[in-house]
Amino acid sequence: MEIVKKIRPLCIVVSTILVSIIVWDLVVRIFKIPNFLVPPPLAVLYQFSGKSLSLLIDHSLITLYETGLGFILGIVIGVSLAILIVYSPFLQTAIYPLLVVAQVIPKLALAPLVLIWFGYGIFSKVIIAFLISFFPIIVNTASGLREVEPEMIDLATSLNATKWQVFRKIRLPNSLPYLFSGLKISITFAVIGAIVGEFVGADTGVGYLIIIATHELKTALLFAAIIISSIIGIFAYGVIILLEKILVPWGVVQKGEAEVLGKSV
């Protein structure tokens, strides 16, 4: 019974996908929709073979590379700024409003400017992925560093712990579940940022492939590229979840306990 409960959500997801594909195929056949508007599922599936598969893999690896670099840059700068904001009220007052303003600016509007400054190479896509992904990391990490029980800080202070020891032993471990919550949001944003950068100006990547397929009315290839972009996002999200289970097992346990308590109430 326990195994059935665990695989039940997966079965529901797989069944939903299969039903959606069947409905898709039936709609295309019944209404005789032209392939250049909506291709049948088999035409899209055919793109995952031969030269088309090689093309999809090559471009997806570039997008994944851009996403990873932008995401790592977001972690480094986001966590650093979060620490500065928490430990310096002056920097919080000075920097945080600027971060909020930067976040509400549409990144698609900034993309052409980034391309002018950094060129049409991979680095500009990394910058765009970073700009879109870093804000949730800052907010969540800062919240985790702050949300520490005052009694724990008082106890550590009474034991003559230094600020570094309080940070390393109390604040940092407490912030990790918050950090990973931000990372799960940010990694999806990073994928979007890399593809947006490729839309605006690139000669490689999934975004570039989508633009080319659109201009050439290769709708089956377009659908395949969209599916690949989703796979990249799901893969990156899964990696973050796996790292969370390995590095922050207490955070996962706390979430499980909270869910049990919620159901019991």
Q: Is the Cβ–Cβ distance between 254 and 147 less than 8 Å?
A: no
Q: What is the pLDDT of residues 46-63, one digit of tens each?
A: 998 888 899 999 999 999
Q: Is the Cβ–Cβ distance between 224 and 56 less than 8 Å?
A: yes
pLDDT of residue 168: 86
Q: What is the pLDDT of residues 89-116, one digit of tens each?
A: 888 888 888 888 877 887 777 888 888 8
Q: Is the Cβ–Cβ distance between 206 and 225 less than 8 Å?
A: yes
pTM listed for this prediction: 0.86
pLDDT of residue 103: 78
CA 170 to CA 153: how far, in whole Å? 8
CA 124 to CA 62: how far, in whole Å? 13
Q: What is the pLDDT of residues 159-193, one digit of tens each?
A: 788 888 888 888 888 889 999 999 999 999 999 99
Q: SS3 string of the chain?
A: CHHHHHHHHHHHHHHHHHHHHHHHHHHHHHCCCCCCCCCCHHHHHHCCCHHHHHHHHHHHHHHHHHHHHHHHHHHHHHHHHHHHHHHCHHHHHHHHHHHHHHHHCCHHHHHHHHHHHHCCCHHHHHHHHHHHHHHHHHHHHHHHHHCCCHHHHHHHHHCCCCHHHHHHHHHHHHHHHHHHHHHHHHHHHHHHHHHHHHHHCCCCCHHHHHHHHHHCCCHHHHHHHHHHHHHHHHHHHHHHHHHHHHHCHHHHHHHHHHHHHHHHC
Average pLDDT over residues 202-206: 88
DSSP letter at 169 equals I
Average pLDDT over residues 218-227: 93
Helix axes 50-87, 219-247, angle to 10 degrees: 40
Residues in CB range of 219: below 8 A, 6 or more apart:
35, 36, 37, 38, 39, 213
- Per the CATH hierarchy, to which homologous superfamily does domain 59-252 belong? MetI-like (1.10.3720.10)
Question: Which helix (H) or strand (E) covers residue 178, if one does?
Answer: helix 172-200
Q: Is the pLDDT of residue 262 over 50?
A: no
Residue given tokens 């980034």 in the structure block: 114
Domain coordinates of the chain in residue numbers? 59-252
pLDDT of residue 141: 92
Q: What is the pLDDT of residues 192-203, one digit of tens each?
A: 999 989 988 888
- In total, the chain counts a number of residues equal to 265
Q: How confident is the model at residue 242 (pLDDT cuts 50, 70, 90)?
A: very high
pLDDT of residue 257: 38
